[in-house]
Chain A
C-alpha cells in the first residue's frame, strides 16, 4: 500500500515529441505528489508537484495530470528537448509527514 508504481522504465522520443510518464498508487492517505528530475552524476531535483484537489498543473513545458478516482498521475513534457534527457521519479507523501515514497524511475532520452 505504500508503493508508487511507475512506468515505463525507459522512454525514447524525438525532439518535439510529448513523452508521458505514468504513476499509480494505492494508499488514499497520500496527498502530495511531486516529480523529481535527475541528471547523470547529480542528485534528484524537484521539478513540479501537485495536490489531489486539482486535476492538472502546468509549469512551463511540464504538466502533471492527476486522476484521483483512478489513483493515477502522470507527467507530460511538451515540445521535449535533448536537454530534458534525464531520469524522472514520481513520488508521494502523506499529509503532515516528510516521508516521500518514490517510484522506480523512468529514463528519458530525447534525440535531436
Chain B
C-alpha cells in the first residue's frame, strides 16, 4: 500500500530534550515536506525537500532541523523542544509538481512539550 508513515503517533516530552519524528514514504516520491497544524492557523510548512540532500526552509522553520540522506526518509528533529512547539505534525510527499499529483500525507504525530 502506498503510504507515508510517521512515528511516533503520540509523544509527550519535556522542554529541552532532543527528539526526532521519523517519516518514510514507499512511493519513490522526490518531494517531501513537514507541516504543523494548529487550531485557527491551518497547516504551516516547516521544511521541505525537493530531493536527496536538498532541503529548504518553509514558513515556520525556527527550532526545527531536517535531513534527507535517502529518498524515502525525511526525519524532523527538534534539538531543544519548547512548549510552543506543542502541535500536530504532518509529513507529506509528492511525486513531483503539485499541479498534477498533489500531496500524500501521513497520519500525523501529536507532540506535547511540557
Contact = CB atoms under 8 A, between A and B. Distances in A.
B108 A42 contact: yes
A93 interface: yes
A19 interface: no
A43 interface: yes
B98 A32 contact: yes
A9 B45 CA distance: 20
B2 interface: no
B94 A98 contact: yes
A13 interface: no
Contacts of B59: 2
Contacts of B4: 43
B99 A43 contact: no
Interface stretch (B14-22, B36-44, B68-76, B77-85): B36-44
> Interface residue tally of chain A, by bracket?
20 to 34
A41 interface: yes
A43 B35 CA distance: 11
Contact of A104 (B33, B41, B96): B41
Given A96-B97, A98-B94, A45 B43 contact: no
21 contacts: A34-B98, A34-B102, A36-B103, A42-B108, A43-B4, A43-B90, A43-B107, A44-B43, A44-B103, A46-B102, A89-B43, A96-B99, A97-B97, A98-B33, A98-B94, A98-B97, A99-B58, A100-B45, A102-B35, A102-B43, A103-B42
Interface of A: 2, 6, 9, 31-32, 34, 36, 41-46, 49, 51, 89, 93, 95-105
